Amino acid sequence: MTRTKKKSTPVIDPYLPTSGNFGYRVSRYELDLAYKVAINRLAGTATITATTLASLRTFTLDLSPALSVSKVAVNGARPQFRTASGKLHITLRDALPAGAAMTIVVRYGGSPRPIRTLWGDVGFEELTEGALVAGQPNGAQSWFPCDDHPAAKASFRIQVAAESPYRVIANGELVSRRDRAGMTTWIYDLPEPTSTYLVTLQIGMYGRHRIAKNGVAIHAVLPDHLRDTFEYDFARQPQMMKLFVKLFGDYPLDEGYTVVVTDDDLEIPLEAQGISIFGANHCDGERGAERLIAHELAHQWFGNSVTAQRWRHIWLHEGFACYAEWLWSENSGGRSAEAWAQHYYRRLAQSPQDLVLADPGPGDMFDDRVYKRGALTLHVLRRHIGDENFFALLRDWTRRYRHSTVVTDDFTGLASHYCDDSLRPLWAQWLYSTALPELDASP
């Protein structure tokens, strides 16, 4: 008797095996939505522009089961569709050839809620007075149908109508705001290619203030009662921006940088394209969150503009943003990066040494050891090749891969051009071994 081998379902990223879709590439999302805060009701239409990568008759989009679909059109025709297990399944009457243009229109609605994941709840979340989206790593599907994995970058137009007392913040430039019958419609345009998890929606009783007029525009969006403490706690953001532009290269977005502070406490800050989101607890009047402020700003270069193709390469986000914290400290009168490296090396030495930085596994991809060992790897590289080469490398990295996706080999390959000897021993010890190398004996 012969047994038929069960076919394994192909996945785009084994860290999130149910996210992402095959057969097409999205170039643009246009969202036309209305949200009622009091009843947590979202409704509207997503228009998705895509190109087929192969002959295509059936395909899927990621979409939360909390949202129901009432209508789908593809290139004006009405295909069959159904939703199941977090996917919108679409079957065309006739297959489209490879390279064909697709315009997908999805009308949908429901009461959005976070996606439950290995790392906790992510995505659309109600606040006491408003809502936020914390998309990392696969929360975009909690509020719009999409191809939800980081390598699938696209441009966005986001139109949201909400009750007029509320301010709506989304990514990109605010191109229109109009009031009608107690509702305000906000329209944002984001031309830069952006991963779906970095697209956000922030709704609250917020005021908006400009906090930097020179260089890159920086705005704050927050409740009025937090403004005094915010102005102290976040006062050094313009200096951070100036330093990071010097060290990392041009700020990657034309429309500037926005910091949102919610009226609720948040366990951790969140990054989005052109936006960082903090909680009221990060305005403590003591600059207690300054390390985090630097970290989130650095993500605009490392993670948001230059984005890992797969989540196994997350050290390229978090190790770099963590090292930016040390660089800010070093350049603002605090501890040097060397002192922070020694400090966290001692902590890592007392932690379990069962993690491979270049592939930590889904359970550990947000582990603090990824952040700190990633930063230490960069510090050891900086020691080895010298400041001039190290910061030239970082600027080359952010320029060469601006608004693109990368893997670890892209960075190690580029770094080889900034060193006369081989860096392979360094990478072998820090990226591909579980054991923590000796800090002062590193190559």
Instruction: Give catalytic residue positions.
Output: 296, 371
Surface-to-core class of residue 81, CB atoms within 10 Å of its CB (0-12 exposed, 13-18 middle, 19+ buried): middle
Peptide bond into 137 cis (omega under 30): yes
Q: Is 290 annotated as a binding residue?
A: no
Residues linked to residue 265 through DSSP beta bridges, in sequence order: none
Q: Is 318 annotated as a binding residue?
A: yes
Rg value, the chain, Cα: 22
d(C-alpha 146, C-alpha 69), whole Å: 13
Unique residue bearing structure tokens 């207690």: 288
> How far, CA to CA in Å, does 284 sit from each of 54, 125, 231, 288?
54, 23, 11, 7
Q: For 264, what's the count of Cα atoms within 13 Å in the CB-facing half-sphere?
A: 16
- ∠ CA 140-145-146, rounded to 5°: 65
Residues linked to residue 103 through DSSP beta bridges, in sequence order: 49
The DSSP 8-state label assigned to residue 196 in this structure reads G
d(C-alpha 46, C-alpha 115), whole Å: 19
For the annotated binding site for Zn(2+), the residues are 295, 299, 318
